[in-house]
């Protein structure tokens, strides 16, 4: 590869240009003759529904994939990336949506791991000085001696970016950079991104689903739909509604209408429930609440405050340290996952790839995981694959899962389509209780609207729903009651009519409610 192609490029000049980029996968054209450019010193947002081709395009620009057709130019000179090493050599870095850090190692060890500067004799002091300089320059605050597992999500994101910058990145591709961050962490990250954009050495393409962030921080925005460029414009000329319409191809309703359903009998009663985290400390502390038929209880909190432990205890995936779980009058505290599914409890996990699906299994096999014990599809231990395939075809059609065939592997689906599949297989069992843990995290506006409408439909069918979300707008939009959680304790439960944004935000930060339910 030719080093130094980015030397001498000034603000506003084209750094990377992609012409006619086309990439095909079995049954789908992910990128269809895409033209795209990145200029020095600008923040260029790339938008599109899940499966629109955003990540495929960026993976091509980073050398993870090779295009079937098209050309890439760096500093006006055509290049061919055989691997990410070629892209890194030319000053292109990519921070992926899913962390690629070694939890047991320190921050500085992760940053220098595999770096040519490390050499055979490691000068840790010099490396620490250089990294501290980057932190100062771009406003990152992170303890370089801390272990990765001790960091917040925002700090881990900073480490990923520092790792890329330390390797000499002049072009920084960020894939959904704020998807797992708190509002305060998001503000800090955006300030750092703006600082990098002001520095002509840092050119920042920006991929995100969060339209307000796009409008606030980007200079230009390119919208993809079904693998093609729909528009490329100055961000100042766009609005949330116009961008959403271009992404989805229709008008999008940003605030869903809460369904009015008469609250029925209590389905779930949680009494003084406690649970330990994977690290052994008490993460859930004496939670008590109930959920009734036809009701959505929204659990609002910043990541890591006990929501995950609560969801897993209710689903049967984690042992309760104390307290009881009552389902339709029956104590199920010690019931297995299978017993809970058979009783009518459905679970949508936050980790759609690690827990919610098996990537190397077909869509039919993934659906079978929630139906293999159902007599309609299995008799005397023999699974009726034909019936399961028919069911899969039906729910794929009803839930709009973009898949060429029910026998393709789940890992070939985009995040949004995989979430639709998980939602479909859970809701098609008509659960009495639905535990939905971050069901719209990382989804585009169209997919988010779809998931929220399906939750509302389940509510109308008298399901009791626990919605766990870190998106306060979502909680306030769809919940009948809101329960903020802080350090494993519920700060109170407020009816939707009394759940003001400022009040809920304060409770999420540890202020206990004087009103509402205990």
State the 10-residue block means of pLDDT for the chain, 518 residues long: 65 90 88 93 87 88 94 91 90 82 87 73 80 91 88 84 89 81 77 86 69 89 92 92 84 66 91 92 94 96 89 96 96 95 93 87 92 82 87 90 88 84 92 94 78 92 94 88 94 90 83 58
Looking at the fold, whether 110 and 67 belong to one and the same domain comes out as yes
Cβ-proximal residues to 35 (8 Å cutoff; 6+ apart), any chain: 18, 19, 20, 21, 229
119 within domain boundaries? yes
The DSSP code for 285 is E
- What is the distance between the alpha carbons of residues 138 and 115, in angstroms, rounded to a whole number? 21
In this structure, are 209 and 232 located in the same domain?
yes
The answer to whether 200 touches 15, Cβ cutoff 8 Å, is no
Q: Check which CATH number belongs to the domain holding 332 and give it.
A: 3.40.50.300
Same domain flag for 387 and 442: no
Are 505 and 392 part of one and the same domain?
A: no
User: Rounded distance, CA 295 to CA 464, Å?
Assistant: 5
| Nearest by Cα to 60 from 36, 89, 27, 28 | 36
Does residue 292 lie within any of the structural domains?
Answer: yes
Q: How many domains, in total, are found in the chain? A: 3
> What are the structure tokens assigned to 241, written together?
């509604």
Question: What is the C-alpha separation between 93 and 173, in angstroms, rounded?
Answer: 6
Let me know if residue 118 belongs to a domain.
yes
In this structure, the answer to whether residues 381 and 326 fall within a common structural domain is no
Neighbour-count burial for 421-447, b at 16+ CB within 10 Å, e otherwise: bbbbbbbbbebbbbbbbbbbbbbbbbb
User: Which class for 76: exposed (0-12), middle (13-18), buried (19 or more C-beta within 10 A)?
Assistant: exposed
Tokens representing residue 273 in the block: 């429930």
Judged by DSSP in three states, 223 sits in strand
Pick the last residue of a domain from 406, 428, 450.
428
Same domain, 285 and 366: no
Q: Which residues contact 501 (CB under 8 A, 6 or more apart)?
A: 472, 476
For residue 270, what pLDDT is reported? 97
In this structure, the answer to whether residues 152 and 131 fall within a common structural domain is yes
Question: pLDDT digit string (tens) for 96-109?
Answer: 877 778 888 888 88
What domain range is 374 assigned to?
353-428
Per-residue b/e over 164-177, b at no fewer than 16 CB within 10 Å?
bbbbbbbbbbbbbb
Do 328 and 453 lie in one domain? The reply is yes
**By C-alpha distance, which of 37, 43, 44, 41 is closest to 9?**
41
Say if residue 238 is in the same domain as residue 144: yes
Based on the fold, state whether residues 215 and 138 are members of the same structural domain.
yes
Q: Looking at the domain assignment, is residue 494 inside a domain? A: yes
**147 phi and psi angles, rounded to 5 deg:** -80, 150
State which of 248, 279, 302 marks the end of a domain: 248
In this prediction, residue 50 carries a pLDDT of 72
- Which residues are paired to 325 by β-bridges? 270
Q: Tell me which of 216, 248, 280 is where a domain ends.
A: 248
Distance CA 337, CA 250 (A): 40
Prediction pTM value? 0.69
Is residue 146 domain-resident? yes
Query: Helix 153-166 to helix 183-198 angle, to the nearest 10 degrees?
Result: 20
Q: β-pairing, 14-25 with 28-39?
A: antiparallel
84 within a domain of the structure (yes/no)? yes
Strands (E), 293-442: 295-300, 322-327, 330-331, 345-348, 378-379, 382-383, 433-437
d(CA 431, CA 314): 14
Residue 366 within any structural domain of the chain: yes
* DSSP three-state, residue 435: strand
| Phi, psi angles (nearest 5°) of residue 465 | -125, 130
Same domain, 72 and 190: yes
> Could you tell me if 387 and 468 lie in one domain?
no
What pLDDT does residue 516 have?
A: 47
Residue 20 near residue 35 (C-beta atoms within 8 A): yes
- What dihedral angle (degrees, nearest 10) is formed by the CA atoms of 203, 207, 211, 213? -40
Q: Is residue 213 part of a domain?
A: yes
Token code pair at residue 134 = 């980057």
What per-residue string of b and e applies to 300-311 under the rule 16 or more CB within 10 Å gives b? bbbbbbbbbbbb
- E strand or H helix at 72, and its extent? strand 69-74
Instruction: Look at the chain and count its residues.
Output: 518
């Amino acid at each position: 590869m030719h080093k130094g192609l980015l030397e001498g490029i000034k603000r506003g000049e084209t750094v990377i240009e992609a012409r006619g980029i086309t990439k095909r996968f079995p049954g789908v054209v992910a990128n269809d003759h895409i033209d795209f450019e990145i200029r020095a010193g600008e923040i260029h947002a790339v938008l599109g529904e899940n499966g629109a081709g955003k990540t495929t395009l960026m993976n091509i620009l980073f050398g993870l994939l090779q295009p079937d057709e098209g050309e890439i130019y760096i500093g006006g000179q055509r290049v061919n990336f055989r691997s990410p090493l070629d892209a890194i050599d030319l000053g292109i870095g990519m921070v992926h949506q899913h962390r690629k850090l070694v939890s047991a190692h320190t921050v500085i060890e992760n940053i220098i791991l595999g770096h040519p500067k490390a050499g055979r004799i490691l000068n840790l002091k010099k490396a620490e000085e250089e990294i501290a300089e980057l932190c100062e320059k771009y406003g990152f605050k992170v303890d370089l001696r801390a272990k990765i597992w001790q960091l917040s999500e925002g700090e881990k994101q900073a480490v990923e970016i520092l790792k890329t910058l330390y390797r000499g990145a002049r072009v920084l591709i960020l894939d959904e950079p704020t998807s797992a961050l708190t509002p305060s962490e998001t503000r800090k990250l955006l300030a750092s991104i703006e600082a990098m954009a002001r520095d002509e050495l840092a050119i920042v393409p920006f991929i995100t689903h969060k339209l307000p962030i796009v409008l606030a921080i980007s200079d230009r925005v390119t919208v993809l739909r079904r693998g093609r460029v729909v528009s490329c414009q100055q961000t100042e000329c766009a609005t949330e509604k116009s961008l959403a319409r271009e992404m989805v191809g229709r008008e999008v309703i940003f605030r869903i209408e809460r369904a009015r359903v008469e609250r029925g009998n209590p389905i779930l009663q949680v009494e003084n429930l406690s649970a330990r985290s994977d690290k052994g400390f008490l993460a859930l502390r004496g939670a008590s609440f109930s959920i009734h038929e036809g009701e959505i209880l929204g659990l609002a909190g910043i990541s890591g405050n006990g929501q995950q432990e609560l969801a897993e205890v209710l689903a049967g995936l984690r042992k309760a340290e104390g307290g009881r779980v009552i389902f339709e009058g029956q104590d199920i505290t010690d019931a297995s996952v299978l017993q809970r599914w058979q009783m009518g409890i459905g679970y949508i996990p936050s980790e759609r790839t690690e827990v919610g699906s098996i990537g190397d299994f077909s869509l039919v096999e993934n659906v079978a995981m929630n139906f293999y014990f159902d007599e309609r599809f299995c008799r005397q231990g023999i699974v009726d694959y034909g019936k399961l395939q028919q069911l899969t075809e039906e729910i794929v059609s009803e839930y709009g899962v973009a898949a060429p065939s029910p026998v393709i592997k789940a890992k070939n689906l985009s995040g949004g389509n995989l979430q639709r599949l998980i939602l479909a297989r859970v809701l098609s069992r008509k659960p009495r209780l639905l535990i939905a843990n971050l069901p719209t995290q990382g989804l585009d506006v169209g997919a988010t609207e779809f998931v929220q409408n399906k939750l509302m439909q389940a509510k109308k069918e008298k399901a009791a729903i626990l919605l766990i979300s870190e998106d306060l707008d979502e909680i306030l939009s769809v919940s009948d009651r809101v329960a903020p959680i802080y350090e494993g304790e519920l700060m109170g439960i407020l009816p939707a009519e009394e759940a003001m944004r400022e009040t809920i935000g304060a409770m999420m930060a540890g202020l206990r409610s004087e009103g509402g339910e205990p």
